[in-house]
Structure 1
Amino acid sequence: MDPFQVCKKTRRLKGKLADICNNKPGLLKQIALGISLGQTECQYQFRFRRWNCTSARKSIRKVLLSDTRETGFVNALIAAGMTYQITRACTTGDLIGCSCDRKMKKNRKHRRKQKLEPMPDGEWEWEGCGGENVEFGVKKCKDYLDTRYRRRSDMKTLVKLHNYAAGRWAVKNYMRLECKCHGLSGSCTLKTCWRKLPNFREVGNRLKERFDGAAKVIAGNDGQSFIPEGETIKPPGKMDLVYSEDSQNYCAANSSLGSFGTQGRICDDRSLGEEGCGILCCGRGFRKFYKTERKNCKCKFEWCCEVKCEKCNVTRAISTCL
């Protein structure tokens, strides 16, 4: 999870990863920020789950050593966050040696014909060189994450690389097309358009949907691929998440598996969803208590220019898992 530690511990580095570690400190910094972005989004998406993507090393390190649905989701979000952060840094000028997406100007007719993304109506042209260079973000993410595993073909590596790619696709395949009108008196005789990164929360939501529908896979007969575990299961596409090991229930604390359990976690006693006490507390029940806090209330604006409030006691109910 810490690229600086990866570079320190891996002494015999070769190829593209060695180049990043030894010669590109700016890129390494953006990679670290991208990992942090992905982990923060994981904690938001899993905030109500029994394993809540905690950043505690004793937990997330153990989870990443397995090959469960949770592992696949974390790996996909790390790759997505890295791709997103590197692309954005390239756009803002925080990274040298990259530029905006020049390929888009050349490929306008091809992309319209292939329907790779929605195209605006009427006369228009790419602004500048087409927008944010997600291809650069994808390439540098692959150079860092995938390089170490490309010569391996074991099951865990195949699953890992697939989920890394799915995370990158969740960013690349959903770039937004934005346009601006030009013309006299507000007319739109010509448009200039550019591609922008989606909001990263959209990326997280999309990958969470993929997590909920993730496919369990087993090794293929050729030893270099995987296939769905069940014959009736649809083969996973490039944007789907996959896993090869069943998840534990994370109900009880188990340090060897990275589980802190759910005892003491706040739950919603009125919900039937994953945040509800019934699911989150694993059937053990919950304790409900009331907490009173002093908060501002009855606020009024007084001329000029001050807001005055009273202090009120506000009582709220809190439920925690037994």
Structure 2
Amino acid sequence: MHTVVFVPVYLLLVTPITTSWWAAGSNVVLDPKQICKKSRKFNDKMDKICNGKTKLLEFISHGVALGESECQYQFRFRKWNCTSARRSMRKVLLRDTRETGFVNAITAAAVTYEITKACTKGDLKNCFCDRKYNKNSKKNKMKGVKLPDGEWKWGGCGDNINYGFRKSKDFMDTRYKKKSDMKTLLKLHNYKAGRLAIKNHMTTECKCHGLSGSCNVKTCWRKMPLFREVGNRLKEHFDGAAKVIAGNDGHSFIPEGETIKSPGEEDLVYSEDTPNYCKLNRTIGSFGTGGRECNPTSQGEEGCDILCCNRGHTTRKETEERSCNCEFVYCCEVQCQTCRSDKNVSTCV
């Protein structure tokens, strides 16, 4: 059975904006406005961000929301799925587990990303495109940068990643005056790892110049990777995160085991094992996995055996509706049909 639905064209061009509790309403560590409000004595760096004159706080909030969205995508199949429910997130962030490390890293990365993007677009005062490579390209032997072949020069509007990195650090790191306790050391390390997941993986893009598109000369600039790539990279570091203990000097950490390699700057670190998120446990912020949708044919994280913690699952048939066979109708409407199909849905018991 098909149902005809008329959709105004302008509605197809509008994406609704939802407010995340990470960016508005949390009093843990991730609410930029609360951080400004609760900081009684600003240093100069925080004052410039929190006074609102630079619009930085707006894009920091965008970054926090982006970090939440990416965290939920990366953890969509895990037992703890990065839920935005504050009674879960608050408990999780009180510990120094791998999950906490990832949340801190993806948030720092997202804040860096949004500030850098806003700078490049010209939405921030006193911040401009990155043109530092224009003058002498031969001396720019940057680590990990693959330079283009043939005749080329630096130009265009490169992403000013150094500005985004610095402002993210100013806002997220400078609040921690005591930097020798273990919890702060891990937090600051994972913040930096998140930022480096962007800075150390910038790409070079070029535009050709010449008659008839001959590309005799190219103008090149530096661009950030897609944020999904950043999320994927940090998820890989999460899977290989290093467990550490406090160092003897009281100002550092070392691997828990003597045979474990010391973590690098881009590696994620943690000091507490992940608790059991299989069952409801409000003490650790776990809602359990009961009722979660799973894939009975998969052997991965989304598989019913793993996600349901071997408790079993049930399967039911659902009718799915979707818009289909859409056609533009002059003037200003899109005519669609509603198509229905049945599918099996498995959920954990």
Regarding TM over 0.5, the answer is yes
Per-residue deviation at 1:106?
4.5
Q: Is the 8 A contact 1:263 1:281 kept in 2?
A: yes
Q: Is the 8 A contact 1:277 1:285 kept in 2?
A: yes
Equivalent position of 2:163 in the other structure:
136
In structure 2, how many angstroms separate the alpha carbons of the residues matched to 1:211 and 1:199? Answer: 19
2:286 maps to 1:259: yes
**Compared with structure 1, are the counterparts of its residues 312 and 75 closer, same or farther at alpha carbon in structure 2 (3 Å cutoff)?**
closer
Query: Matched residue of 1:148: which SS?
Result: coil
Per-residue deviation at 1:307?
9.3
**Compared with structure 1, are the counterparts of its residues 320 and 151 closer, same or farther at alpha carbon in structure 2 (3 Å cutoff)?**
same
Q: 1:124 aligns with which of 138, 141, 152?
A: 152
Give the alignment's TM-score, normalised by structure 1: 0.92
Deviant stretches of 4+, over 4 Å: 294-297, 299-313
In structure 2, how many angstroms separate the alpha carbons of the residues matched to 1:116 and 1:301? Answer: 48
Higher mean C-alpha deviation, range 16-25 or range 59-68: 16-25
Q: Is the 8 A contact 1:111 1:117 kept in 2?
A: no
What is the aligned length? 319
Per-residue deviation at 1:308?
8.2
Identity %: 63
**Compared with structure 1, are the counterparts of its residues 309 and 26 closer, same or farther at alpha carbon in structure 2 (3 Å cutoff)?**
closer
Query: Matched residue of 1:131: which SS?
Result: coil
**CA distances 1:288-310 after superposition (whole Å, capped 9, x unpaired):** 1111245567x598999999887
Per-residue deviation at 1:144?
0.3
2:135 maps to 1:98: no
**Compared with structure 1, are the counterparts of its residues 132 and 231 closer, same or farther at alpha carbon in structure 2 (3 Å cutoff)?**
same
Q: Which has the higher helix share?
A: 1
2:233 maps to 1:173: no
Q: Is the 8 A contact 1:69 1:211 kept in 2?
A: yes
In structure 2, how many angstroms separate the alpha carbons of the residues matched to 1:312 and 1:214? Answer: 45
Equivalent position of 1:196 in the other structure:
223
Which letter maps to 1:244? Answer: S
2:98 maps to 1:87: no
Per-residue deviation at 1:243?
0.4
Higher mean C-alpha deviation, range 18-27 or range 146-155: 18-27
Q: Is the 8 A contact 2:54 2:125 kept in 1?
A: no
In structure 2, how many angstroms separate the alpha carbons of the residues matched to 1:182 and 1:101? Answer: 21
Per-residue deviation at 1:103?
2.3
List alignment gaps of at least 5 residues for structure 2. 1-29
Per-residue deviation at 1:25?
5.5
Per-residue deviation at 1:22?
2.2
In structure 1, how many angstroms separate the alpha carbons of the residues matched to 2:286 and 2:57? Answer: 30
**CA distances 1:24-70 after superposition (whole Å, capped 9, x unpaired):** 45100100100111110000000011111111111112111110000
In structure 1, how many angstroms separate the alpha carbons of the residues matched to 2:124 and 2:152? Answer: 30
In structure 1, how many angstroms separate the alpha carbons of the residues matched to 2:109 and 2:215? Answer: 36
Equivalent position of 2:137 in the other structure:
108
**CA distances 1:142-163 after superposition (whole Å, capped 9, x unpaired):** 0001101254211111111110
Query: Matched residue of 2:134: which SS?
Result: helix
List alignment gaps of at least 5 residues for structure 1. none
Which letter maps to 2:194? Answer: G
2:34 maps to 1:5: yes
**Compared with structure 1, are the counterparts of its residues 17 and 319 closer, same or farther at alpha carbon in structure 2 (3 Å cutoff)?**
same
Give the alignment's TM-score, normalised by structure 2: 0.85
Equivalent position of 1:273 in the other structure:
300
Higher mean C-alpha deviation, range 23-32 or range 170-179: 23-32
In structure 1, how many angstroms separate the alpha carbons of the residues matched to 2:118 and 2:87? Answer: 31
Equivalent position of 1:163 in the other structure:
190
